[in-house]
Amino acid sequence: MSRVFITGSADGLGKLAAAQLVRAGHEVVLHARSDARGRDALDGVPGATGVLAGDLASIAQTRGLAEQANAGGRFDAVIHNAALGYQVSSVSETEDGLAALFAVNVLAPYLLTALMTRPDRLVYLSSGMHTGGDPSLDDLQWRERRWNGVQAYSDSKLFDLVLAFAVAGRWPEVRSNAVTPGWVATRMGGPGAPDDLALGADTQAWLAVSDEPAAQVTGRYLYHRTERAADPAASDGVLQAGLLAACAQLTGVEL
């Protein structure tokens, strides 16, 4: 039995992955952005061990979430599932003066990775849209560019891959991988999404707990339990170091 923490598990893919892991007999702790959402999350995943609350758009609350997680004991695996979608219509700054989409999709998983007791496995949710991402670190908060939600989302999913691969290279004892769930019918993906919703949650759950040789990998990008080629930028050591440095500067926490 493994102990797994899943961010953004009140609904969507996070909820489905949590339910799959609970059915398989694993100990799962959920996450929601508020206490009210947390109660809904527990109702939605019977058998989950508990839920932690914290708004990932806030650096202070994300720090608090890491403290809550550590107080309960070390996790065997963490699935960084929470994200804002490309439908965000404006820069929408957070209380820290950051672009909300970047704060939730990139900065929060960075900060949780840096602050939580190191698990055996880390899984980051990326997207096939990462191939349209801009690897430039010059304007992460969209202060110089005209806002484009699709571009900002694609950038964030590329940076999630960069983060996963950077961690894999720096922490060889941790299996750190990224997943694309495909275009699935979640609130983010919309009702007309063509990919299989159940399969969209399967690979991250499998990577978090499986003893199969194919799951004992690190620094990989997978779709439906199969490795896929990632944008070469994700493996660029200079970009990896630059993103980690930018996140450290914003949060005051080094990986």
> Which positions are catalytic?
153, 157
Structure tokens at 153: 């989302």
The H or E element that residue 222 is part of is strand 221-223
DSSP secondary structure string for all residues of 143-212: SSSPP-HHHHHHHHHHHHHHHHHHHHHH-TTSEEEEE---S-SSTTT-TT--S-HHHHHHHHHHHHH--S
Contact 35, 50 (CB under 8 A): no
Helix (H) or strand (E) holding 112: helix 108-115
Residue pair 75/67 in contact (Cβ under 8 Å)? The answer is no
The Cα 28–Cα 84 span in angstroms is 22
